[in-house]
Structure 1
Amino acid sequence: MLIPTEPIGSIPRSPELVQGLSAFASGRLGQAELDALTRQAIADTVRRFEATGSPVVTDGEQAKSSFATYPLDGATSLAGDGAVIPFADGHTRRLPRLTGGPFRYASFAEKYFRAVSHHTDLPVKQAVIAPSALSLLYPSDGLAGYPREEFLADLVDQSEADIRRCLDAGAASVQLDFTEGRLSLKLDPSRGLLRSFVELNNQVLDRFSDEERARIGVHTCPGGDQDSTHSLDVDYAELLPDLFALNAGRFYLQLASEPDRERVLRIISDHAPAGAVVFLGVIDPIDPRVETPEVVRDRVLQAARFLPADRLGTCDDCGFSPFADDTSTSRDTAFAKIAARVEGTALAAEALGI
């Protein structure tokens, strides 16, 4: 038996694609030319994934404007002055604000899966945004003729469709990105907001069978954008017990960048559902140093003291470039880190005799 190892999702866009996106935004490049650059970037991403020995690949989110807002690409009834997400270094990201209903996805993640699947025979993982993140689109003062309850019902329907379309198309697994979980504890230390997020996400997860949920995972991290985070200062102990109430078959947890990994591992051991596979972050995408395979091995062996090997997997802490304009990490560094994760996980499996 091998220890499974998977990427989280995003890879820094190719330099040609970054330049193309800038030219497209300014009107200097047409859609057809941008599409061609995107296809080239996806093909190169898959080729480089395969070269690392990774047993699972993604499209690197080359075609996504961001991990969070891809369902809104081409959507109307939106304004630009939505919720602001502040990062520790002082920069911010801003979500759109919904201006009217009914809420519908303008773009589904299935298209990203299909764009990559014909490039490889390896299993393909597809990341989708959790409905809890998109719930933040609804304005705090409400919308005339479109109550919040109706919006949430529409959101649950759309989120289910996003996941199901990926599974039906053949995705090996689907990962819900839930980075707002830890952030919610800064906004509401009482955990009321967090628990409302968990309840909303479970409304979607509960629509799937046990067999389907075994292929559906949830990823959490303190955010990772331009080498900064939005909630690393929030104690993991405040998040994990509620996080593990999500009815998912897999959990992808940032861990490499935690200052006290052993303490967090004890919490995970105490609260992780018995049937779930827990993928632990052994690579820190924000750290410019490339971890050695031996460092990864030792992190896995530390985790194996707290979790049985048949429930243990490895991953990166976060995606390497969740927003298209984030060039803080190079593609070469990202793939070197992924190669170290793959090799280090195999070394750990050998050391454990599995």
Structure 2
Amino acid sequence: MLISRDRILTTHVGSLPRPADVTDLLFAEERGDPLDPAEFEIVVGKATREIVRRQRDVGIDTVSDGEMSKISYATYIRHRLTGFEGDSPRRVPADLEAYPDFMGRAAKTGGTPSYARPRCVGPIAVKTMAPLEADLRRFRAALDATPSPDAFMNAAAPGVIALFQPNEFYPDDDAYLDAIAAAMRVEYEAIARAGLVVQIDSPDLALGRHMMFKDRSEAAFLVRIERHIEVLNAALVAVPKAQVRVHVCWGNYEGPHHCDIELERILPTLLKLKAGGLSFEGANPRHAHEWASWTRVQVPDDVVLIPGVLDSTTNFVEHPQLVAERIERFASVVGRERVIAGSDCGFSTFAGFGTVHPEIAFAKLASLVEGAAIASERLWRQAA
């Protein structure tokens, strides 16, 4: 993973808006409709090349494949692992339960995505890595066409798979997590062998508090996420720490978020992750103030912060000066070399769904790049 040696580098969380033809294919695949593999390869391959080109055109340093082939960042695993079938009831976040009229309005206006969330009904094992191999092949072709200083690929954490896909087979949560981690280890190691940074998406470490564990105490939640981190670290044993970054968030949706656990409460536990980079929300109105929490912990010298300096749930395009100010706050804590500017979350967490309009998403990324340049000029000038 590159660090900001000469200037503040830029990245984002991973998912980017899919074109309509890609979305149509992904939902057809989800329904079990027959697909033409050649058509799928042509359409998704073209979209992957285009999304890499667009990221580089606006100046993003560490790019992703936009998660073009995935219907969502957590449920895609049903095509790669055994044991997952059907659909399951939705777990409603506690903040939305507190405002049922708002929740109903959001559902009626398309503010909540609709797709299957399979449940675990049998033994988990690797079914096929062909979809991952295809993702890696398409991403490599896109990077060959449009080189980038650095690149990453997303993969779901064991804990977030468990968060969205309830267990109906294993005797307890620990056995379920262990089985998921053993199977996902194959994916993590394959991404690393391909020479990419492995981004582990792990909203369970924050969102889980007001969703999966909303009926437990805060102390019990902290014990559980320590276990989530333990199994994730074990699955990453063969991947160098410097090649791993982990994304943590409180849920990429517009809502009150007044039930979000404070960053300061989970931060000591998060620092136990085997990750050279920590990606987290730092721009939205509920968490922007929490940059100060990092001043009250000892961040290991080999950990880079990737704060969100763009909100991923609003169509406001952040002013570059505001982006620069946010970057500089984090640089004051860990030093300029250990900050990479990012987004709060993905811009298309679910295929065909995104609060931010696709063109505005790229306008926001352009503002991110401009703000990073402003911050770089100030930070390196101060050190001269």
Q: TM-score range by the shorter chain?
A: 0.7 to 0.9
1:266 and 2:271 are equivalent in the alignment = no
Structure 1 counterpart of 2:84, which letter? Answer: L
Write the distance in 1 (CA, Å) between the matches of 2:333 and 2:228. 30
Write the distance in 2 (CA, Å) between the matches of 1:157 and 1:260. 33
Q: State the Cα distance separating 1:319 from its structure 2 match.
A: 0.4
Normalised to the residue count of structure 1, the TM-score between the two structures is 0.86
Q: Which has the higher helix share?
A: 2
For residues 154 and 237 of structure 1, do their structure 2 counterparts lie closer, same or farther at Cα, with a shift above 3 Å needed?
Answer: same
The residue that corresponds to 1:80 in the other structure is 86
Q: Point out where structure 2 has 5 or more consecutive residues left out of the alignment.
A: 1-5, 97-101
Name the % identity.
Answer: 26
Structure 2 counterpart of 1:168, which letter? Answer: R
The correspondence for 1:305, drawn from 332, 342, 361, is 332
Write the distance in 2 (CA, Å) between the matches of 1:318 and 1:346. 21
The residue that corresponds to 2:355 in the other structure is 328
1:95 and 2:120 are equivalent in the alignment = no
Q: State the Cα distance separating 1:323 from its structure 2 match.
A: 0.8
The correspondence for 1:204, drawn from 196, 215, 232, is 232
The residue that corresponds to 1:14 in the other structure is 19
Q: State the Cα distance separating 1:280 from its structure 2 match.
A: 0.7
Normalised to the residue count of structure 2, the TM-score between the two structures is 0.80
The correspondence for 1:221, drawn from 223, 246, 249, is 249
Write the distance in 1 (CA, Å) between the matches of 2:225 and 2:10. 27
Give the secondary-structure state (helix, strand or coil) at the position aligned to 1:282: coil
Q: State the Cα distance separating 1:124 from its structure 2 match.
A: 1.6
1:184 and 2:208 are equivalent in the alignment = yes
Write the distance in 2 (CA, Å) between the matches of 1:21 and 1:314. 30
Structure 2 counterpart of 1:181, which letter? Answer: L
For residues 314 and 272 of structure 1, do their structure 2 counterparts lie closer, same or farther at Cα, with a shift above 3 Å needed?
Answer: farther
Give the secondary-structure state (helix, strand or coil) at the position aligned to 2:296: helix
1:65 and 2:92 are equivalent in the alignment = no
For residues 283 and 73 of structure 1, do their structure 2 counterparts lie closer, same or farther at Cα, with a shift above 3 Å needed?
Answer: same
Give the secondary-structure state (helix, strand or coil) at the position aligned to 2:206: helix
Give the secondary-structure state (helix, strand or coil) at the position aligned to 1:185: helix
Structure 2 counterpart of 1:3, which letter? Answer: I
Aligned pairs (5 A) from 1:226-245? 227-228=254-255, 233-245=260-272
The residue that corresponds to 2:137 in the other structure is 114
For residues 203 and 139 of structure 1, do their structure 2 counterparts lie closer, same or farther at Cα, with a shift above 3 Å needed?
Answer: closer
Q: State the Cα distance separating 1:148 from its structure 2 match.
A: 5.7
Write the distance in 2 (CA, Å) between the matches of 1:23 and 1:79. 16
Contact persistence 1:249–1:277 (CA under 8 A): yes
Cα RMSD, aligned residues only: 2.9
The correspondence for 2:199, drawn from 150, 175, 183, is 175
Contact persistence 2:52–2:65 (CA under 8 A): yes
Write the distance in 2 (CA, Å) between the matches of 1:252 and 1:287. 19
Q: Point out where structure 1 has 5 or more consecutive residues left out of the alignment.
A: none
What whole-Å deviation, never above 9, does each CA across 1:33-70 have from its counterpart, x for those lacking one? 33322122111111111101111111111110111122
Write the distance in 2 (CA, Å) between the matches of 1:232 and 1:137. 18
Give the secondary-structure state (helix, strand or coil) at the position aligned to 1:192: helix
The alignment covers a number of residue pairs equal to 349
